Amino acid sequence: MSEKTTHFGYQPIAPEHKTARVAAVFHSVAHRYDIMNDLMSFGLHRLWKRSMIARCMVRPNHTILDLAGGTADLTRIFATKLNDHGKVILVDVNETMLAKGRERLLNAGIIKPVSFVQANAEALPFLNNTFDRIAIAFGLRNITDKEQALKEMVRTLKPGGRVVILEFSAVRSGLLNTLYHAYSFSVLPSLGKLICQDAESYRYLAESIQMHPNQETLKNMMIQAGFERCEYQNLHSGIVALHIGHKF
């Protein structure tokens, strides 16, 4: 193992091994990913994403990056807000999730203005100043080098653009945090076993939430990466948080 380590859930591992380990998780859960999101969050993830889209402030001619876009629930909504000059690019590192997203959009009759790219968020295959908006929902915590991914977002964002990050965060209420922790480590793996026949992947997801930077830490990481006027908004007492950054 290299001297530098990262975390796969609670387990310290070499950074070069994390991408493959995370890929295995999402290959396993892709076929039931949307159903599990509804069950795990009691449907609240839809409200959280609605708040996220509102903070994106999309205009009809924008070029949007839906990063770690998975099964395309954000892309589907973004596409309805664009005119013939706008476009949304869904990027995911996992080919299984990307295929599910493409299938979902085709079934909904959405072809334009969407394109799909398989890529790692740490090395985006786009020119500088490409996107008016970058959105990433529940994907940042699974990225090995979050600092590098944030720098790539800055690089590919146009001046005047904004990034909106939706991610699980640090719960502010002590009692709620205790209940949430118990739910995460008992109910989520059980649901994973029942619905996906995979308890271990959902145990990893619970651990990854606990290891993710809290609100202030992520805000400071965004500032260090080069974003300006960074802020965050807690949703449901900090179970999730929206982080917004700008490029000028």
Tokens matching residue 180: 């949430």
Q: For residue 198, tell me if it sits in a domain.
A: yes
Within 10 A of 186 (CB to CB), how many other CB atoms are there? 11
Average pLDDT of every residue of the chain: 91
Digit-coded pLDDT (tens) for 9-22: 888 889 888 888 88
Tally of helices (H runs) and strands (E runs) in the chain: 10, 9
Q: For residue 182, tell me if it sits in a domain.
A: yes
- Give the distance from CA 193 to its chain's centroid: 23
Q: For residue 195, tell me if it sits in a domain.
A: yes
Q: For residue 1, tell me if it sits in a domain.
A: no
User: What is the C-alpha to C-alpha distance for residues 198 and 195, in angstroms, rounded to an integer?
Assistant: 8
Digit-coded pLDDT (tens) for 25-47: 787 777 777 777 787 888 899 99
Beta partners for residue 232, in sequence order: 243
Q: Contact, 165 vs 186, CB < 8 A?
A: no
In sequence order, the 6+-apart residues with CB closer than 8 A to the CB of 145 are 6, 15, 122
* pLDDT given for residue 2 in this prediction: 43
Q: Contact, 76 vs 108, CB < 8 A?
A: yes
**For the chain, what is the domain count?**
1
* pLDDT given for residue 192 in this prediction: 80
Q: For residue 59, tell me if it sits in a domain.
A: yes
* pLDDT given for residue 186 in this prediction: 86
CATH number at residue 14: 3.40.50.150
Q: For residue 109, tell me if it sits in a domain.
A: yes
Q: Choose the most confident range, by mean pLDDT, from 26-35, 163-172, 193-202.
A: 163-172
Tokens matching residue 2: 């290299």
User: What is the C-alpha to C-alpha distance for residues 227 and 182, in angstroms, rounded to an integer?
Assistant: 35
Q: For residue 152, tell me if it sits in a domain.
A: yes
pTM score, two decimals?
Answer: 0.89
Q: For residue 24, tell me if it sits in a domain.
A: yes
Digit-coded pLDDT (tens) for 74-114: 999 999 999 999 999 999 999 999 999 999 999 999 988 99
* Alpha-carbon dihedral sign for residues 193, 93, 74, 211: positive
| pLDDT(1) > 60 | no
Domain that holds residue 23: 6-246
Digit-coded pLDDT (tens) for 65-83: 999 999 899 999 999 999 9
